[in-house]
Structure 1
């Protein structure tokens, strides 16, 4: 495996662990909380994170990105266990695909990206949602997991 890809995968695994740690510590009744209009619930935020990863996985399989490939199983939004299982499932699929298709080129709306560029975009998406989730947790006045301490939270 290329060094840059190894580095990105380590970064990805660390970021995804932060996502899972926050969800694991979140009281389940807070999954239905929203900070305001057009923000969705916390459960929806997590479901969306997984749905988008499905699109990234499909792009690795097909060589073409299509953000219309969502699963949109809304039933997972209200269950912490279902969300954790969903995120683990789509992540394991992606890690397997990366091992199998390291040299894939992915058509991103006419631009060809290598796997590192594709993965970096997913990393940026996860970070964006971390920022949104920080707002939810702060408004709820909940404690952040220890793993989030590096951010001073």
Structure 2
């Protein structure tokens, strides 16, 4: 694995840790909170983050991205423990797969992305949802974990 990919994966792991830190700090009763119509509950945000990572993992396996067939296990949306286990499990699977297959190229709807570009897109997706989670947490008037000082919060 080249140094650029190692650094990118370090950045990825830092972003995922922020996501998990926020989940750890969140009182479980707020997993069912939504900021408004068509926004989904906080638990859905977390479940979706993991579901999309499943698509990224499958793309590494199959050399093609496909967002149409991911898990959608709605039963985990109201459990911090299940959400955290899900996110940790899929992340371990992805990191192990990357160790074995760091040279993969992925068909992204007709464009070809190397693994670094693919992981960068996943990082951007994670950050997008962190931004959405900021709205939820601010609306609830909750405090952010210390790790979120990275974002000035």
The answer to whether the superposition gives a TM-score over 0.5 is: yes
> Partners in 2 of 1:142 and 1:70 — Cα distance?
31
Q: CA RMSD in A?
A: 0.6
State the Cα deviation string for residues 26-50 of structure 1 (Å, max 9, x = none).
Answer: 0000000000000000000000000
What displacement does 1:108 show? 0.4
**Aligned position for 2:134:** 134
> Partners in 1 of 2:64 and 2:150 — Cα distance?
36
**Aligned position for 2:41:** 41
Would you say how many aligned residue pairs link Structure 1 and Structure 2? 153
Alignment gaps of 5+ in structure 1: none
Structure 1 residue 94 and structure 2 residue 94: aligned?
A: yes
Do the aligned residues in 2 keep the contact of 1:55 with 1:65 (CA within 8 Å)?
yes
Alignment gaps of 5+ in structure 2: none
Alignment of 1:4-153 (within 5 A): 4-153=4-153
Do the aligned residues in 2 keep the contact of 1:54 with 1:69 (CA within 8 Å)?
no
> Partners in 2 of 1:150 and 1:110 — Cα distance?
36
> Partners in 2 of 1:151 and 1:126 — Cα distance?
14
What displacement does 1:69 show? 2.3
> Partners in 2 of 1:117 and 1:61 — Cα distance?
16
What displacement does 1:3 show? 1.4
SS in 2 for 1:68: coil
What displacement does 1:150 show? 2.2
